[in-house]
Each structure stands twice: as C-alpha cells, then as structure tokens.
Amino acid sequence: MAAMVLVLSCEPIAKTSPSPLESPSTTDSVKINISASYPIKTLDAFVYSDTWTRELQSHFRKVVHPVQFCDVVIESFCQDKRLVFIANSPYEFNLESLKHYDSIELLQMNYADENPDYPLMSAVCTSMETSVSLSPLLCPVDILSINNLTGARLRNPRLHLSGINPKAEVLRFSGFRPSETLDSPDELRYPQMMFQRLPQDIGLFCYYPKIRLFCYPNDSRSESIGTPRTSVVFEADTLDSQGNMATVVRNIELPAIRRGGSNSISLDIW
C-alpha cells in the first residue's frame, strides 16, 4: 500500500480564505481546505479506510501559531478514505484505542477541560471532499441586557449557568441528552465559562453587561422526562422592605441547545 503523508499549510487569522499551496509531489493526492470559527492551535488528522473494517491508517498532529484557515494535503491516495479532524484537543490520543472508526465515534470531551479561547472543534469528511468546516462543542450564551424592575438597587450581581451537560461525544452533532449535569465551576480550568460577576451594581436603568457564558449542547426539551435542561441563573443582593439584606435569584431555562448554536438572553428581574 502506498504511504500516506499529511502536509499542513497554515494562513494568518486575518485571511478570509486559504491561499493555494505549491503543487504536491505526486498527482495522486487530495487537498482539503479547513476553516474554523475559532483559532486553531493544534490539529489532529485521522485517516480511516472507507472499507467495512474502517481501520486507522494514518494519524497526524500539528502544533501551529493560531490560525483559522488551513490546507491539508494527503498524498499518495490509492482509495477512498474517511477523514476525522480534531482541533485544540487538551488530551493526547491513544491511537491503539482509536484504530477503528467505530472507536473514535465514542470519543468524549469534558466540558471542565475546555478553553473558551481555543475550544475543541471537529469535523468528518471523505477524501472526495475539498473543504470542511470545524464545529465546536462549546455553545455561547450571550446576556444582552438586564432590566431591573424590582424598584431597588441590585448589589453584587452575578450570573452563572446551571444544568450544564458535563461531557459530549466529539463527533456527535445531535441527540445530546445528558443523564447528569454540572452546576459548579469549581472543577473547571476556566471558571468564567459558566460564572461571572458583573462589574457594578444595577440601578433602575437597563444594564447592558456584554457577558458571554458557554455551555455544551443539550437537546432536552421542557416536555422531556429525566433529561434536565440548562439554565441561566441571576443572583444579586438587595435590601428588603424592612431594611434587611436579601438575595434575589432568578432562573431562566434555555431552549434546546444545538451543537454550533447560540443563545441571546435579555433578563427582566422582578
């Protein structure tokens, strides 16, 4: 069997499309343009045969200066292949356990190990395709505005997510229904993904915090049984009618969260 060589050419983040590569050394090759919505720091490429066994034939890992566009050239192609690309993995891969495509389909990523600046992204394609877009597992939740309707100053306001799907299959694109959830940022590498304090109290005017939190996909719906949904939780301290300090808590359930999707929330605090 002819040898397979993976060659990665990277372009600056500012580019809007990859530039052409020099001609490969053999005409029996495939060039795939890779794009991503977040910067790529590392790129792993897995080449599987497209036969019924779908065994791993080659693996390539490249560490690069952060880019959003790459060209991958796979030379000496002699048959159709199934290609898996994974960017920004914080883990090293055990190739022995991934020697069949069915195994890499079960590969999971932990939300607690994600980096919101360089999130894990993945894509699957065949050697017949010429371009592929990497999709992140992290889903942004943007808090656009907070409207204080309580009539009192909201002190030390903070926002966090609860009911987060704690792990997800790297190659899955639908059917995320967690049996358990994550509610505390204590174990996260980057706690700001799910918890942030606002820099100021909220008075009687609408406040625009420009806060972005991140969660994992969760396809659970309100009518689902046993599959909790992800929520945005607002908390703040205020004085009650007797002058005692009290805590205001508001919980807003998010709709089903698709991979690659986002949510924008405006909060009314009564």
pLDDT tens by residue, 146-194: 999 999 999 999 999 999 999 999 999 999 999 899 999 998 999 999 9
| pLDDT at res. 130 | 92
- Choice between 3 and 87, residue whose per-residue pLDDT is larger: 87
Predicted TM-score (pTM) of the model is 0.88
> pLDDT at residue 5 above 80?
no
Residue 96 backbone phi and psi in degrees, to 5: -65, -40
> Where residue 51 falls among pLDDT bands split at 50, 70, 90?
confident
> pLDDT at residue 1 above 80?
no
For residues 52-81, average pLDDT: 86
For residues 65-73, average pLDDT: 89
For residues 12-39, average pLDDT: 59
- Choice between 167 and 81, residue whose per-residue pLDDT is larger: 167
- CA distance linking residue 26 with residue 28, whole number of Å: 5
> Where residue 225 falls among pLDDT bands split at 50, 70, 90?
low
> pLDDT at residue 232 above 50?
yes
> Where residue 224 falls among pLDDT bands split at 50, 70, 90?
low
Which amino acid appears at position 269 of this protein?
I
| pLDDT at res. 223 | 58
CATH topology of domain 5-136: Immunoglobulin-like (2.60.40)
